[in-house]
Amino acid sequence: MRRTGDSALLGQAAVLIWNDVAPEGREQFYEWHDREHMPERMALPGFLRGRRFISAGHSPEWLTMYEAVDVRALVSREYLARLNAPTPATASALNHFRNTSRAVCRVVKSVGSSTGGYVCALRLDVAVKQADAMSRYLSDDALPHAVTRNGVVACHLFAADSSASYVNTAESSTREFDVPGWVLMCEASSAGAAHGLRDLIDERELKRLGVEMRPNAAIYALEICLLSEALQRSSLVGSSAAERVA
């Protein structure tokens, strides 16, 4: 399921999570996140794809993205039940989280039809009265221009849903986190192309529009990608059908 015919994203919403992990918890983090946490999330109704990226040596070091059908899937009874009943491994792993940001977002704009192995991720904050002007500049000018650059395969603008992001759950009570108001994410096929993206976003124009860009923007490399159980099943069915035709 895609948001539009020309979007690389699956669905109309996403959970975006930035975090560091204390050194003593790194091995546990990978074991838990790869083998339990991401598969658990991908089994939930409305979740479509999970991706985790890393920016080694940067803080926050990891960026995880869960794409969903819509925001309703991200406040569903099933999802909240999981958040309110974390497994022992989840509770233990979260004790090692540091510098966490988490936002439940709706997709405002998505251009480009491919996913990339690298993403340039920027967290933005802007006053409500200036949000529309910022959104128009990014949606109509900056992002369409960026995807014409060699190696840039997609760009997305997300707006945080405050009520969904601040839902109080057992998991959220285990750690402090902040919620960025907006997220700009561009995907690229090479690290060089991803680094060049900052030059395509006119920071002077953003400042003129009253946008605060957090200084810890970074280039993240893909570590793991997992489709939902439903999409995995449909892919297997499609592969079997193609084999029969062949």
Query: Which alpha helices (DSSP H) does the chain contain, by range?
Result: 26-32, 38-42, 77-83, 88-94, 128-137, 143-146, 162-165, 191-200, 203-208, 229-245
Q: 208 lies in which domain range?
A: 13-240
Answer yes or no: is pLDDT of 237 > 80.
no
Domain for residue 79, yes or no? yes
Two tokens, residue 29 = 């983090």
Domain for residue 8, yes or no? no
Beta bridge partners of 111: 155
Alpha-carbon span 60 to 100, nearest angstrom: 7
Answer yes or no: is pLDDT of 242 > 80.
no
CA torsion sign for 194, 65, 217, 54 is negative
Two tokens, residue 181 = 């108001």
Domain for residue 2, yes or no? no
Domain for residue 52, yes or no? yes
Domain for residue 38, yes or no? yes
The predicted structure's pLDDT at residue 4: 45
The predicted structure's pLDDT at residue 231: 86
Domain for residue 5, yes or no? no
Alpha-carbon span 65 to 49, nearest angstrom: 8
The CATH number of residue 224's host domain is 3.30.70.100
Instruction: Please give the mean pLDDT across all residues of the chain.
Output: 90
Please answer whether residues 193 and 5 qualify as being in contact, where contact means their C-beta atoms are separated by less than 8 angstroms.
no
Two tokens, residue 197 = 């993206």
Domain for residue 3, yes or no? no
**Local confidence band at 235 (pLDDT 50, 70, 90 cut-offs):** low
Q: How many CB atoms lie under 10 A from the CB of residue 82? A: 19
Two tokens, residue 128 = 């409500």
Q: How many CB atoms lie under 10 A from the CB of residue 57? A: 7
Domain for residue 246, yes or no? no
The predicted structure's pLDDT at residue 97: 96
Please answer whether residues 169 and 102 qualify as being in contact, where contact means their C-beta atoms are separated by less than 8 angstroms.
no
State the total domains in the chain: 1
pLDDT digits (tens, 9 = 90+) for 63-104: 999 999 999 999 999 999 999 999 999 999 999 999 999 999
Two tokens, residue 167 = 């839902």
The predicted structure's pLDDT at residue 171: 79
Q: Provide the Cα torsion 38, 175, 180, 12; round to 10°.
A: 30
